[in-house]
Amino acid sequence: MKNTRRGFLAAAGAVAIAGCTGPASEVGPEEDPNGTESPAGAGEGNAADLAVEESSSDTYAAVAESVSKSVVRVQIYEDGFEAGQGSGFLHRGHVVTNEHVVYGGETVRLQYSDGSWYEAEIVGTDPYSDLAVLSSGRDLSDADAPPELELVDRTPEIGTEVLAFGAPFGLGGSVTQGIVSGRNRSLPAPNNYQIPDAVQTDAAVNPGNSGGPLVTLEAEVAGVVTATRGENVGFAVSAPLADRIVPSLIEDGEYEHSRLGVQVRPVTPTVAEVNDLEEVRGVYVVEVVSDGPADGVLEGATGSETVGGQSVPTGGDVIVGFADTEIDTNEDLARFLALETSPDETIDVHVIREGERVTESLTLGTRPPAR
């Protein structure tokens, strides 16, 4: 029977409650029964602060102790030599990691938290999302096997505390703490596509963290760590996107992404002004790819104007929605296509064309291979 994190969730809650309920009630700002104030600086405020700190520390420790068992160090070999390393975690009977961690690798070995090593196979990869799935290398049905991690249903709100697990610089078992500092970010992907819906965090992320889990204090995975952009700015592939892609990597070894077949740019105030748009929202269609899904359905720019030394396209459609979903930004468009659609699906697209709202129907295609 598979081990999961459900039992831990109740335990983590108990740790948090036991760590703060008693002290908080004892030092709360209650009135003196005799009608006199307690002396200032009598220590109540400091005790309360300490109780909160101890509660948080206990929660971090409980999550770290439980989750670390499910995190592995991923070592890649080429021609018998070490060629790279990263991290991964157990999920759905496999190990989830980044595609860039295993790309080009001939042999993959996994080191578990108990120090044991196992050789693994690459089960599936998807460069467009930077996700990969490996075999676990060991029998996970044993009672003593590490438990699997579960994914959150939706990305946590900004400000939610998270822990990043992995092996930065090869230092296995490392944990850093931070918050969700941004949502729905876009990261570069092959062929000028984007990885949408990415989670931004200020938890320390370094080389070797790639593929490790970004975990909530409920011990659920909020994202798969994939990149860093300087100090205190790290990114993870969101759990909703991973939850959509990983099952296909396990089943088929690959994932097919929807393709709209247009080149777009954001609607800025300048673009809106030049094109007489009433609102600064939507996604401007610069070009429709010939023989693509949108060819003959959507219209690209027909001209341009120079404003402040910059060329601004004119005459193209502005995508403002799909079916019941409003599209305000490029990120909204990429996220909708990634999380809500499949190749060969026919959808209604709402555009602003020559000042009028028009609805067209088109059938999505499939992206070409990333490599």
Q: Is 350 a catalytic site residue?
A: no
Rounded Cα gap, residues 232 and 164, in angstroms:
12
Which of 210, 238, 257, 350 is catalytic? The answer is 210
Q: Are the beta carbons of 27 and 47 closer than 8 angstroms?
A: yes
Of 236, 232, 234, nearest to 224 by C-alpha is 236
What six digits make up the tokens of 369? 């291979």
CA angle at 13 for the pair 7 and 16, rounded to the nearest 5°: 145
User: How many Cα atoms within 13 Å fall on the side-chain side of residue 71?
Assistant: 32
Rounded Cα gap, residues 135 and 123, in angstroms:
6
3-state helix, strand, coil in the chain (%, to 5): 25, 35, 40
Q: Which helix (H) or strand (E) holds 181?
A: strand 174-188
For residue 263, which amino acid is it? Answer: Q
Which of 94, 129, 130, 174 is catalytic? The answer is 130
DSSP state, residue 169? G
Q: Is 94 a catalytic site residue?
A: no
DSSP state, residue 324? T
Q: Are the beta carbons of 340 and 325 closer than 8 angstroms?
A: yes
Which of 91, 94, 100, 350 is catalytic? The answer is 100
Q: Is 328 a catalytic site residue?
A: no
- Torsion-angle region of residue 148: left (phi > 0), alpha (psi -120 to 50) or beta? beta
Q: Which residue has the tokens 């009630």?
A: 25
Active-site residues, by number, are 100, 130, 210
